[in-house]
Amino acid sequence: MARYFDVHPANPQARSLAQVAAILEDGGLVAYPTDSGFALGCRLGTRDALDRIRTIRALDDRHHFTLVCSEFAQLGAYVQMGNREFRAIKASTPGPYTFILPATREAPKAMLHPKKKTVGVRIPDHVTARALLDVLGAPLQSSTLMLPGAEEPMTDGWTIADTLAHEVDAVLDSGDVGLLATTVVDLSGDEIEILRYGAGDPSPFEE
C-alpha cells in the first residue's frame, strides 16, 4: 500500500522529504508533484522501478524517460550539449520543458532510447520537486504520470494514492501541482523538433 505524504507547498516538511528519499534509496517508486502534473520517479539505476513505470503507463521501449534535475549544473554529467543546446536550455529552465539530447556514458543505460541513445532532461520550477531532489542528492529517473489513454497528467494526490495504491510505494503531495504536461523539445538532431506541445511556451523553439 502506497504511503501518502502531505507537505506544505512553500516549505515542505524536512521529515517527510527524508522519508520519501529513503523510499527512493531503497529502490522504491514515488509519485511526486511538479509544475507539469504529477510524475513517477525512482533513483538512478533502479531498473525494476523503471519497469514498473512502463507497466503503469503501458509504455514501449521507444519512450524517452527523463532525468529530472534540481539545477542546470547537473545536466552536463548526463547529456551532451553544444553551444546551441546550452543557450536554449539555460534560457528555459527551470520550467515546464523536457529536452531530448544525446546521452553521456554517465546516463543510466536502461533509460536510453534503444536506437538514438538519447535521454530526456528537465529542471522543474516547483518547490517540492526540487526540495526532494536536493534531499536525495541526485536526479530522478522519471516519467509524467499519465495513465494509458489519458491526454493529460494526473493532478490530484489523493486520487493517485487510491488508483495506484499497489503500484507505487509513496505519493508526495503539496497541493500545488501544474495541470499540463511538459513541452518536449528534441535538440538531438540538426533541426529542433517539438515532440509534444504542453505547458512550456514553444515559440522559442519554432522557426
Question: Which pLDDT tens digit goes with each residue over 111-165?
Answer: 888 888 999 999 999 999 999 999 999 999 999 999 999 988 999 999 999 999 9
Whether 28 has a pLDDT exceeding 80, the answer reads yes
CA–CA distance, 70 with 58 (Å, rounded to integer): 27
Alpha carbon of residue 67 to chain centroid: 6
Tell me how many helices (H) and strands (E) the chain has. 5, 10
Whether 190 and 49 have beta carbons less than 8 Å apart is answered as no
Whether 61 has a pLDDT exceeding 80, the answer reads no
Q: What is the dihedral of CA 50, 128, 20, 133, to 10 degrees?
A: 60
- Residue range 4-22: mean pLDDT, rounded: 98
Percent of the chain, pLDDT > 70? 100
Q: What is the CATH number of domain 3-205?
A: 3.90.870.10
Question: Which pLDDT tens digit goes with each residue over 77-109?
Answer: 999 999 999 999 999 999 999 999 999 999 998
* Per-residue pLDDT, 114: 84
Whether 29 has a pLDDT exceeding 80, the answer reads yes
Whether 17 and 135 have beta carbons less than 8 Å apart is answered as yes
* Per-residue pLDDT, 42: 98
CA dist list (Å): 173 to 127, 129, 136, 188: 12, 10, 17, 33
Q: What is the DSSP letter of 94?
A: S
* Per-residue pLDDT, 128: 98
Question: Which pLDDT tens digit goes with each residue over 175-206?
Answer: 999 999 999 999 999 999 999 999 999 999 98
* Per-residue pLDDT, 112: 87
Burial grade of 61 (CB within 10 A; 0-12, 13-18, 19 or more): exposed
* Per-residue pLDDT, 63: 82
What is the longest distance spanned by two Cα atoms in the chain? 48
Whether 3 has a pLDDT exceeding 90, the answer reads yes
Mean model confidence pLDDT for the chain? 95
- Residue range 23-35: mean pLDDT, rounded: 98
From start to end of the chain, where are the E strands?
3-6, 30-34, 37-43, 66-68, 97-102, 118-122, 140-144, 170-173, 183-186, 193-196
Whether 207 has a pLDDT exceeding 70, the answer reads no
In what order do the strands lie in the sheet containing 183-186? 3-6, 170-173, 30-34, 37-43, 140-144, 66-68, 118-122, 97-102, 183-186, 193-196
Q: For residue 151, what is its C-alpha cell?
A: 491526454
